[in-house]
Amino acid sequence: MFRVTFVKRQREGADIAFSLFISIVSILVALAVSAAVVKASHLNPQTAFQTLFVGAFGSMRSLSEVLIKTTPLSLAGLGVAFAFRGGAFNIGADGQLNMGALASTVVCLTVGPFVGWLGVPLGLASGCVLGGVYGAFAGWMRAKLKVSEVIVTIMLNFIATLLINHLVHGPLKDPTGFMPQTAEIPVTSRLPLLIATTRLHAGVLVAVAAAILVYILLFLTPFGYKVRCVGINQTAAMYGGIDVERVLVATMSVSGCLAGLAGAIEVLGIHYRLLEGISPGYGFDAIAVALLGKLNPLAIPVSAFLFGALRVGANSMQRVAHVPSTLVYLIQGIVVLFLLGGEFFARYRIRFLRREA
């Protein structure tokens, strides 16, 4: 008989090669489990994954669709990662994204027609601001009232969805249309297309720039230093002279800003209007994106690309192979679970001890 024990490794933290290894294994395990699920439901996993792959990378058009999905995932993922670094778990990226979309739509519809191309920066900025305010509110409840930001941000998600739901059915509804959506924003307020035959827009460049900026903010500025201090140890940060409450609110507001920007880009780059369900759960995908990216701003666009491909591929998988696209959530959840498990094995070694009779 053996007894399994875990022995702490001498070296704290994993090196890059090991964490990359864990990430790849996590993805493979998740794919294997989902293949088993597909197989168990009497569908063909090979066809399923083939259509998934072709659906994502099969053509210029599908690849550009992947990049379109990568953009909001990356931005919201950056937001989640930033909050994480600062010791806050922001699962409200969805709500913040929705509020960002709302603000940018309103600004582009009201101010847009009079300011020409300035509508683009104004629209993006307004999305940032409202998303940031929405995030800051959760940060404030956490810092001042000691209420778990997890519950607060989830509640705020529901509230934002219902608010937008009402606005697009009521006050903001396009008066000339029948659909529950607003009127289109002026052409001058839209993000330019990068490739004319596709829907790929300049927002993807904004996402890349944001990743670099967040990296600089987090690792090369005094503010970023404070954020990371608070994230590692609040008590120590407080004794070190950091105003922890203020930093928490600021962290959540930066996080919300990034998610809000994602929402604004969805409006200015893709839909050109606000509609119900503008975020098909991007805020939750963002958590998996941030964790797979190891909370590193420069790795997050890459993991966002992966999950973007998964999303686009899953849609064609559902169409062609009749495998429900909700499989994506299963894959994401399992990836996260195995990443977490992998972290443990980065810190501990397994040891089998012979049990004495």
Partner 1 sequence: MDGLIAFASQSVRLATPILLAALGAIFCYRSGVLNIGLEGMMLTGALMGVVGSTLTGQPFIGLLAAAVAGAVMGLIFAVFAVSFLADQAVVGTALNLVSIGFTGYLFRLLMTGTGETQNVPGFGAMPIPGLERIPILGPIVFNQNIFVYICLVAVVLLQVLLYHTGFGLNMRATGENPRAASAMGVNVFALRYEAVIASGLLAGLGGAALSIGALNLFIEQMSAGRGFIALAAVTFGRYDPIGTLLASLVFGAADALQLRLQVASTGIPYQYIQMLPYVVTLVVLAVVKGKARAPKSTGVRFEREAL
Q: Is 37 in the site for partner 1 (CB under 8 A)?
A: yes
- Of 71-79, 152-160, 194-202, 241-249, which part binds partner 1 (CB under 8 A)? 152-160
Q: Is 170 in the site for partner 1 (CB under 8 A)?
A: yes
- The number of C-alpha atoms within 13 Å of 165 and in the hemisphere containing its C-beta is 8
Q: Is 228 in the site for partner 1 (CB under 8 A)?
A: no
**Among residues 11, 12, 146, 176, the one that binds partner 1 under rule CB under 8 A:** 146
Rounded Cα distance between 128 and 353, Å, is: 55
79 contacts 227 by C-beta, under 8 angstroms:
no
- Of 63-71, 213-221, 250-258, 342-350, which part binds partner 1 (CB under 8 A)? 342-350
Q: Among 95, 90, 69, which residue's Cα sits nearest to residue 78?
A: 90
Rounded Cα distance between 185 and 309, Å, is: 28
307 contacts 224 by C-beta, under 8 angstroms:
no
Q: Is 337 in the site for partner 1 (CB under 8 A)?
A: yes
**Number of residues forming the site for partner 1 (CB under 8 A):** 48
CB of 192 to partner 1, least distance (A): 35
Q: Is 280 in the site for partner 1 (CB under 8 A)?
A: no
CB of 327 to partner 1, least distance (A): 5
The CA-atom distances, in angstroms, between 7 and each of 2, 174, 270, 355 are 15, 63, 51, 16
Q: In which element (H, E) is residue 328 found?
A: helix 327-347
**Among residues 61, 324, 349, 350, the one that binds partner 1 under rule CB under 8 A:** 324
Q: Is 233 in the site for partner 1 (CB under 8 A)?
A: no
Q: In which element (H, E) is residue 351 found?
A: strand 348-354
- Of 61-69, 142-150, 177-185, 215-223, which part binds partner 1 (CB under 8 A)? 142-150
331 contacts 34 by C-beta, under 8 angstroms:
yes
- Of 211-219, 228-236, 297-305, 339-347, which part binds partner 1 (CB under 8 A)? 339-347
Please say which residue, 146 or 196, places its beta carbon nearer to partner 1.
146
**Among residues 57, 158, 195, 298, the one that binds partner 1 under rule CB under 8 A:** 158
320-351 in b/e form (b: 16+ CB < 10 A) is ebebebebbeebbebbbebbeebbeebeeeee
| Binding positions for partner 1, rule: CB under 8 A | 5-8, 37, 41, 89, 91, 141, 145-148, 150-152, 154-156, 158-159, 162-163, 165-166, 169-170, 284, 287-288, 291, 324, 326-334, 336-337, 340-341, 343-344, 347
